[in-house]
């Protein structure tokens, strides 16, 4: 036992090294997004995430935005627990009634972002009797962020692109 404990002090962990993302670019992107939200809304951007049926891959990446590494709250972006407090709905897939009710409970102005390939057209589950189709089959979608799953950085880029389109009037509240 003592030998094992001693070895574990010096042995490298078995897990692979994580790729090192560009910290400066990430901070710049999130900060720009925070500024864009304040310019457009006069306050932080509040996001309600709806996982209306998925493999959870996209959801894990969305959760990563709030972890200690990405920590998007420091830039004024908040994930909220109720659609009544939200500006943006991030949807990962279809569950028709829950999605419709959440959409109608979210006050205007609001925007819908469909995250991942499944949210666009059902992805690898398309054609299943249990899948209605893309999110746009149920509620209007303002932006789709592709990927299986998309990275947290791609989601931040997507949110920024959405606010820029709102600023130029290309997307209406
Ligand atoms: S897009 Fe990929 S990761 Fe996201 S829910 Fe579908 S299968 Fe899972």
Give me the pLDDT at residue 170, please: 59
Paired sense of beta strands 77-79 and 143-145, if any: unpaired
Whole-structure pTM value = 0.75
CA–CA separation, 73 and 161 (whole Å)? 19
Grouping H, G, I as helix, E, B as strand and the rest as coil, residue 84 is helix
pLDDT 10s digits, 81-109? 888 777 777 676 657 888 888 889 988 88
Please say if the pLDDT value at position 41 is more than 80.
Answer: no
Q: Is 124 in the pocket of ligand 1 (CB under 6 A)?
A: yes
Element containing residue 111 per DSSP (H, E)? strand 111-115
Using pLDDT thresholds of 50, 70 and 90, give the confidence band for residue 15: low
Q: Is 126 in the pocket of ligand 1 (CB under 6 A)?
A: no
Using pLDDT thresholds of 50, 70 and 90, give the confidence band for residue 16: low
Task: Give residue 129 CA to ligand 1 midpoint distance, Å.
Answer: 17
State both tokens at 115.
């995250």
Task: Give residue 91 CA to ligand 1 midpoint distance, Å.
Answer: 12
Report, in this order, helix, strand and coil percent for the chain, each rounded to 5: 45, 10, 40
Rama region for 151: left / alpha / beta (φ>0; ψ in -120 to 50; rest): beta
State both tokens at 148.
């299986």
CA–CA separation, 134 and 140 (whole Å)? 10
Q: Is 54 in the pocket of ligand 1 (CB under 6 A)?
A: yes
Q: Is 94 in the pocket of ligand 1 (CB under 6 A)?
A: no
Give me the pLDDT at residue 43, please: 76
Task: Give residue 31 CA to ligand 1 midpoint distance, Å.
Answer: 27
CA–CA separation, 65 and 5 (whole Å)? 35
Paired sense of beta strands 45-50 and 77-79, if any: parallel
């Amino acid at each position: 036992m003592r030998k094992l404990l001693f070895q574990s002090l010096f042995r490298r962990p078995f897990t692979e090294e994580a790729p090192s993302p560009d910290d400066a670019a990430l901070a710049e992107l999130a900060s720009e997004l925070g500024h864009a939200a304040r310019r457009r809304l006069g306050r932080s951007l509040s996001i309600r995430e709806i996982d209306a049926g998925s493999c959870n891959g996209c959801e894990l990446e969305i959760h990563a935005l709030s972890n200690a590494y990405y920590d998007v709250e420091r830039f004024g972006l908040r994930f909220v627990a109720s659609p009544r407090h939200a500006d943006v709905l991030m949807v990962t897939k279809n569950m028709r009634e829950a999605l419709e009710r959440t959409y109608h409970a979210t006050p205007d102005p609001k925007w819908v972002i469909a995250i991942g390939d499944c949210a666009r057209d059902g992805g690898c589950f398309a054609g299943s009797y249990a899948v209605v189709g893309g999110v746009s089959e149920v509620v209007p979608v303002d932006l789709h962020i592709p990927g299986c799953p998309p990275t947290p950085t791609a989601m931040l880029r997507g949110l920024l692109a959405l606010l820029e389109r709102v600023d130029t009037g290309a997307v209406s509240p």
